[in-house]
A and B are shown apart, each in its own frame.
Chain A
């Protein structure tokens, strides 16, 4: 025997699930919402998506080269960030602003804090909020006109020309103004808003895939959405008004945020108890921003604030070790 066999400490087998496969699953899960965004808003949406994804991937690549770090092993986490950022932007955003957002997300929020796993905020959301504060008129304007005539012919004819559309009210704007919304339209997503947030249906298809693949659990999304619903019911000022409550839940970025961004591993609590606490906090904060605050949206701010609380939540929800719980039955 000339060859010695490999020796290592147990265990000797590994699950086929890798960081890369998880990130790929998230990309796959975002495809329905992305496609619907392109269908809803025109080909320019695709341009925004490509701009943010490419800027994220390139920023990470260049940063690693310059810092002489091993170049991104291709784990797709930068693609996820870019995609999520695009889905959180309006279709008519100037491309250079979208690119700036991608650079900010990867360079400032992720890499400068130590790269994958070390960022304390969701990079895509932090970048969106950065853009929202820096260019409020560009980021909070939502093209609506093309949405009202969505025939496939119009789509093919207009393609990327949606740009010159007039900004209009989003479902949440309508609700804030006291109007009611068409819930079915809202569910399908045939309304104004950010590229990827409008279609609850498309988002739920993606979320179902992530749940099926066990990439995410229902703990954060469900506790988030339920606590937000309860908040709206109690403090919304409309009592039990299904149109208002469901409009609040389905409109805006809540579904996208709850299933795809609040569940970001890096910036959410690690223990089940902590995750539920986190979801409830997000629900209350989103409710405060939307109902009490001046704005119509609140998901981005709520999740970012929640991200900052994660270390504290982790500290107070430390798990009880098996066999060392307080003895109840005298055994």
Chain B
């Protein structure tokens, strides 16, 4: 089968071997759990509990606001200690529900009950997804029940499962695909029930032949589901790159996949959909990769949402050396943090700790090598955009399609002069978006 790909992009040291071969292990929380009300794109959820209330595993503790929003579910049983502002991995202080764990893990009624999704109506399925508090677990955090409700569901031709874990070091999706392929396939089947005319696509990078083989076996008898093999290249997991590689359709910043007849979900999200619909299990846990050269035993953990990252580092046997940089998310698009005293949120896929900070380099003069342009998956001219950004030339910036930038970081990565291209462009883009509001 021809390997699918997209223009531009980069190959980096991928660091996946650090954590790839160790099975996922579960850890139990020790300290308090923190549930920020905003773990998704859109408006924060509204708390349903007050200080002193007792809560159960699977209980909805905050409700989605109107518009784009998602519920927040407790991952433990215990009492609400406080509702206060807490630092989150995004670097912002966010209103959060703090719960003291009673260690008993008493569940709400009906938690974990089997449901026959073939007998559920479309609206029942969507409702189950909404009640489970599911958002895009790949990192974007877009509320999934909204994504599953496009303007015209008959115009959806493809339901794409994103198995392209293109960020270096991340292996949580790989482990999930290896250990829970049936659950992912089940999730895709549920999604296909929502879109009568759609075909299912499971997109996997060719660096993982074991996963490809596994899914080819699993889908051997499925007439409506295809495994598509992608060339391993960053940022293949980006929505625009994935939709282009698998369907040939081209998105831009003004279009969402549904406009081009596609629904794209990360493998983790698809697994969560299966658990919510078929097993009545809301989103209370996620898989987190802990890796980097400063981590003693890099691996993947299955952790309750709200657990403190310091407990995860402890479970990975701590640091081998004093790290210089800690990143929540991948090294290309993740957020660096000054402390790891942070809760795991729905979108926290990874914690990386590095002894050296590769990004701490001096910028030098552009030598016009053109690499930034050559590797830009959107065919932009990053150096020209950076010049416009530095001089605050917003009109020029827009004319050069700076607003199309997806922030993948390829230009900064390849720049031999080590210019902070992505950083300037993304910052200017956000400034312009704010002004336009």
Contacts and interface: CB of A to CB of B under 8 A. Distances in A.
Interface stretch (B69-77, B143-151, B370-378): B370-378
Contact of B379 (A11, A322, A331): A322
Interface residues of B, number: 69
A300 to B, nearest CB: 21
Contact of B333 (A1, A8, A10): A10
A173 interface: no
A12 B331 contact: yes
A13 B413 contact: yes
Interface residues of A, number: 41
Interface string B215-241: 000000000000000000000000010
Interface string A317-331: 011111111000001
A10 B168 CA distance: 13
**Is chain A's binding surface mostly helix, strand, loop or mixed?**
loop
B252 A13 contact: no
Contacts of A6: 324-325, 336, 357, 359-360
B373 A319 contact: yes
B336 A116 contact: no
B29 interface: no
Nearest to B13: A13
A272 B415 CA distance: 17
B359 A12 contact: yes
Contacts of B331: 10-13
Interface of A: 1, 3-15, 17-19, 21-22, 73, 75, 77, 115-118, 265-266, 268, 270-272, 318-325, 331
Contact of A11 (B333, B338, B370, B404): B333
Contacts of A268: 368
A324 B252 CA distance: 7
A270 B368 contact: yes
Given A116-B367, A323-B404, 13 more contacts: A1-B339, A5-B339, A8-B359, A9-B422, A9-B426, A18-B417, A21-B416, A115-B365, A117-B368, A272-B374, A323-B378, A324-B401, A331-B249
A270 B418 contact: no
Contacts of B91: 7
A224 B417 CA distance: 28
Contacts of A319: 373, 379-381
A9 B420 contact: yes
A11 B375 CA distance: 14
Nearest to A327: B250
A12 B327 contact: yes
B367 A19 contact: yes
B378 A318 contact: no
Contacts of A8: 336, 357, 359-360, 423
Which among A22, A116, A270, A331 has the greatest number of chain B C-beta atoms within 10 A?
Answer: A270
Contacts of A17: 414, 416
Contact of A5 (B326, B380, B420, B427): B326
Contacts of A3: 322
B357 to A, nearest CB: 5
Interface string B235-268: 0000010001000011111010000100000000
Contact of A14 (B358, B378, B401): B358
Contact of A322 (B323, B329, B368, B378): B378
Given A3-B322, A10-B332, A73-B364, A270 B381 contact: yes
B379 A320 contact: yes
B338 A18 contact: no
Contact of B369 (A1, A7, A22): A22
The 6 A-B residue pairs whose C-beta atoms are closest, nearest first, are A11-B409, A323-B252, A270-B370, A322-B378, A117-B365, A9-B423
B2 interface: no
A17 B358 CA distance: 12
B296 interface: no
Contact of B338 (A5, A270, A272): A5
Interface of B: 7, 10, 12-13, 91, 168, 240, 244, 249-253, 255, 260, 322-327, 329, 331-339, 341, 354, 357-361, 364-370, 373-374, 377-381, 383, 401, 404, 407, 409, 412-418, 420, 422-423, 426-427
Contacts of B354: 12
Contact of B250 (A1, A271, A323): A323
A10 B332 CA distance: 6
Nearest to A325: B250
A1 B313 CA distance: 14
Contacts of B324: 5-6
B370 A271 contact: yes
B337 A266 contact: no
Contacts of A118: 365
Contact of B260 (A5, A272, A331): A331
B255 A323 contact: yes
A331 B158 CA distance: 14
A12 B325 contact: yes
B366 A117 contact: yes
A59 B111 CA distance: 77
B239 to A, nearest CB: 11
25 contacts: A4-B339, A5-B325, A5-B338, A6-B359, A8-B336, A8-B359, A10-B331, A10-B332, A10-B333, A10-B407, A10-B422, A11-B331, A11-B332, A11-B359, A73-B364, A268-B368, A271-B381, A272-B374, A319-B380, A321-B378, A322-B378, A323-B253, A323-B378, A324-B401, A331-B250
B54 to A, nearest CB: 33
A265 B423 CA distance: 23
A313 to B, nearest CB: 12
A319 B379 CA distance: 7
Nearest to A275: B370
B404 A324 contact: yes
Contacts of A19: 364-365, 367, 416-417
A140 B149 CA distance: 76
B12 A13 contact: yes
A5 B249 contact: no
B357 A12 contact: yes
Contact of A266 (B10, B327, B368): B368
Contacts of A14: 358-359, 361, 412-413, 415, 418
A321 B365 CA distance: 25
A12 B336 contact: yes
Contacts of B379: 319-322
Contacts of B404: 321-324
Contact of A321 (B168, B252, B329): B252
